[in-house]
A and B are shown apart, each in its own frame.
Chain A
Amino acid sequence: MTATQSSTTPFHFGIALKSTGYHPASTKNEAQRQQIFEPNSWAELTRSAQRAGAVYVTYEDSFEYQDLGQFDASLLAAWVAPRTQNIGLIPTITVTHTEPFHVQKNIATLDHISSGWAGWQVAVSDSAAATELLGRGRADLDIKPLYTEAIDVVDVSRRLWDSWEDDAEIRDVATGRFIDRNKLHYVDFVGPRFSIKGPTITPRSPQGQPVVAFAGRDQAVLDAAVHTGDVLFVPVHNLDDAQALLTQIRELETQLGRAGAPLLVHADLPVLVTETEAAGQHRWEELNGINPAWLNADQLRGSGAATSIATLVAGLKSLGFNGVRLQPADNAVDVAAVETLLAPRLRDAEVLTQPAPQGSTLRGALGLERPNSRYTNASTVEHETQGATV
């Protein structure tokens, strides 16, 4: 693909936010650790990401204790939303021990609050700790059935997001009707792990279908993302591996008969951003001297001068990736460094698509259309929908 073609192909970056950052050494500083439970810190990081031109941030979360603890990411996102604009807010919400009905209305509400910038990173809970916190026992915590259930949770959520047609609220004084009940639909979802009647309690949101993301490269995750996701975040070992993985995903799309837009695949890229190679080397040694985790794991990273990271990102784009999700080593340093050092280099290299105009949505910014409710023009007869088999 030539440089000219690259500059017109949509390509975006987002920033992943968790704890004090993605390098374990980032937890060393006590002031840094305190920022985990300081809401303003998350708002500042999000605004910095937005100024940098990130099209989304993700807020990591888990059901059980991880990484020094965290706020409920969905409520954090709702709190940040009035303080930012024009950036996707994608909290992680787990689906194994939660109620699908609560999860979908939570994300739909974030979409209303943010005027169409909500996303949802789907995750499962496979730990004994999570099961014990729920307290109802669960025999099979294998990844495959957990993601089969996740497919059902996303499926029913999408149906519930469609269960109100866009124009259901009519405020018709003549007939005294606030809504046209014919534009509200039961979803009648029946699955092996749960069944849900519907409709939802929340009117159809600005995006209609908030953006659904998965993260990981386990086969079960790839299957789920191809079945029902909009975006997939994948770690890669090197550029050859990245190419092979992307090919595998595109083949899976054909094999599973994915309809509609192709899955947007963003490479997860841990980054440690400095102005010069020397400064990069220094920070690299400093952080890994505290905790060598990044030395040992076999993952493609952007470490060092912003120019070289930009080259790496351009390389991923040329393989056909739709974007990168940058994982800052240390929130206190690398988010600002993305804004001031990396993003300008990415723009210089013409790697990025133009920033989203005012009034667009996360779907629009990612090049996804806004679908009508699938129930538009449906009869009022109930349609029973079967969940995926375990």
Chain B
Amino acid sequence: MTTSNPIVPQVILGAHFPGVNHHTVWSDPNSGSHIDFDSFARFAQIAERGFFDFLFLAEGLRLREQRGKIHDLDVVGRPDTLPVLAAIASVTQHLGLVGTINATFNEPYELARQFATLDHLSNGRAAWNVVTSSDAFTGENFRRGGYLDPADRYVRAAETLNAARAFWDSWPAQDAEAETVQVHTSQFDITGRFNIPQSPQGHPVIFQAGDSAAGRDFAAANADAVFTRHGTPEAGRAFYQDVKARAVAAGRSPDELKVLPGVSAVIGDTHTEAEELADHIQAQQISGPTAIHLLEQIWNRDLSAYDPEGPLPDIEPELGETTIIRGRARYIDDRQKTVAHLRKVAETQQLNLRQTVIETQARHWYVGTPESVADQLIDAVATGICDGFILVPHITPTGLEPFVNKVVPILQERGALRTAYPSHSTLRDLIGSAQPAQKVSIS
């Protein structure tokens, strides 16, 4: 499929080294360590060989529990995000480094120091995915516990980011005067001097990931890029239009906010081969016990008595606060609606519990021959579904190799991806993000 637009859009590409989730098929013999630095270095070098814009890491604050026990079916254990990004900076030259760090169990001055340091160490490749956390469960590992009212989490995030921006701007160059920063807001009462001169990007690139209205507004006002779970054409396009409109309402131009869904790509020599491989991977990702665990997150109750090869639970979901799973970012906007949808899918397609989960819970997959996948990706960007993709492989560190070896050359051929990194480019240069967003006050 070719686009009707004669100008082929640039496709932004991110490489997500996954942390704790069921997407990694750790039982695959090619599945490597999720803690050895060598895995991260190799993964980053593969992405850089593929001319990706950036590598992406999430963050860990507390081990996930389900039904009161530490979850053991998925990968558990990860390095701390910022030091591992600093080390990856040391073994790469061009790849952007996106780290997820929450604004709740951190303070702006320290985060500003750490991201300024990372930006200097990497020569302008640092990015901060600003997320929030507010639950008392996670808080049990931190000084103030669950101190933050969930209603205030994006207030704090905005104030944190604005305070960090004030620090980043306060010492423009080593031989210039440094301002005393003053931040006196609902969350902070800060006075002081920064100890790092402004870094190559001025401000690190800012990402946001979080689907609520408050999250979208935060992204629209403050972020350079948003990592979304909406990767299917229909949901993706709706999200894209929604956040771009919010950006405009916040006084920005729509292309100042890049929309980047998390997706998987499966390549085969033929379409059938690719489909079979995708089915196989999905079946491995969603075992019977995993299917039950995923449904428990929707039903918000213990479903261990149900048979994964049997029908969906006939009981109703437990509404209200999430109790069954702790320590996992998961947004279920309407449990009853979700359950109704699952039941409809099961009935229409004659699927058992596990099959229904496989059918409905996978993020969007691009499946096909290299040419087909390349065309689908370009088409999605050309037709307003997104501005690029954050690819998550099902094994690490080598899982992106088929994509890098086979799809990247076609993207390059089509003019949708760089054939060389510009010398001395920052991450802002790579993804086309200009000046830092203006400070926005949150009332």
Which residues from chain B contact A256 at a C-beta distance below 8 Å?
none
Contact assessment for B69 and A181 in the assembled complex, using a CB-CB cutoff below 8 Å: yes
- What is the bound-complex CA distance between A37 and B118, given in angstroms? 11
CB distance A71 to B120 under 8 Å?
Answer: yes
B90 contacts A by Cβ under 8 Å:
yes
Which chain A residues border B69 with CB–CB below 8 Å?
181
A347 contacts partner chain B, Cβ-Cβ < 8 Å: no
Given that A178-B74, A184-B70 are known contacts, is A101 also in contact with B142, CB under 8 Å in the complex? yes
Within 8 A of B (CB), among A55-107: 63-66, 69-72, 74-83, 97-102, 105-106
Indicate whether A173 reaches chain B with its CB closer than 8 angstroms: yes
- Name the one of B141, B189, B289 contacting A198, with C-beta atoms under 8 angstroms: B141
User: Is the CB–CB distance between A71 and B141 below 8 Å?
Assistant: no
**Residues of chain B lying within 8 A (CB to CB) of residue A66:** 195
One of A65, A72, A113, A176 near B79 (C-beta < 8 A):
A113
Residue of A nearest to B113 (CB): A72
Say whether A135 contacts B73, CB under 8 Å.
Answer: no
Q: How far is the CB of B320 from chain A (nearest CB, A)?
A: 24
Is B150 close to A, CB under 8 A? no
Query: Is the beta-carbon distance between A135 and B107 smaller than 8 angstroms?
Result: yes
Tell me the total A-B contact number using a CB cutoff of 8 A.
Answer: 184
| Chain B contact patch, size range | 35 or more
Q: B190 near A132 (CB under 8 angstroms)? A: yes
**Which residue in A34, A75, A99, A129 is a CB contact (below 8 Å) of B118?**
A75
Query: Given the interface contacts A72-B114, A132-B190, does A37 sit within 8 Å of B195 by beta carbon?
Result: no
Contact of A37 among B107, B109, B194, B197 (CB under 8 A): B197
> Is B80 in contact with chain A by the CB < 8 A criterion?
yes
Interface size on A, residues (CB 8 A): 67
Contact of B83 with A110 in the complex, beta carbons under 8 Å: yes
Across the interface, do B141 and A79 meet the contact criterion of CB distance under 8 Å?
A: no
The 8 Å CB contact of B75, one of A37, A136, A178, is: A178
Contact with A along B171-185 (1 / 0, CB 8 A): 100110010000100
Q: How far is the CB of A339 from chain B (nearest CB, A)?
A: 22
Task: Report 24 cross-chain contacts, Cβ distance below 8 Å, ordered by A residue.
Answer: A36-B174, A63-B110, A64-B193, A65-B194, A66-B195, A69-B171, A69-B197, A72-B117, A76-B86, A79-B89, A99-B106, A105-B60, A133-B109, A133-B190, A134-B109, A135-B188, A168-B77, A171-B26, A178-B72, A178-B74, A179-B76, A194-B143, A199-B63, A201-B60
B84 at the interface (CB under 8 A from A): yes
Least CB distance, B341 to chain A, in whole angstroms: 27
Report if A51 contacts B (CB, 8 A). no
Chain A interface: which of B35-43, B209-217, B417-425? B35-43
* B13 adjacent to chain A (CB < 8 Å): no
* Identity of the chain B residue whose Cβ is nearest the Cβ of A118 in the assembled complex: B83
Chain B residues with CB under 8 A of A171: 26-27
Which residues 115-168 in A have Cβ within 8 Å of B in the complex? 115, 129, 132-137, 164, 168
Look across to chain B and name the residue whose beta carbon is closest to the beta carbon of A101.
B141
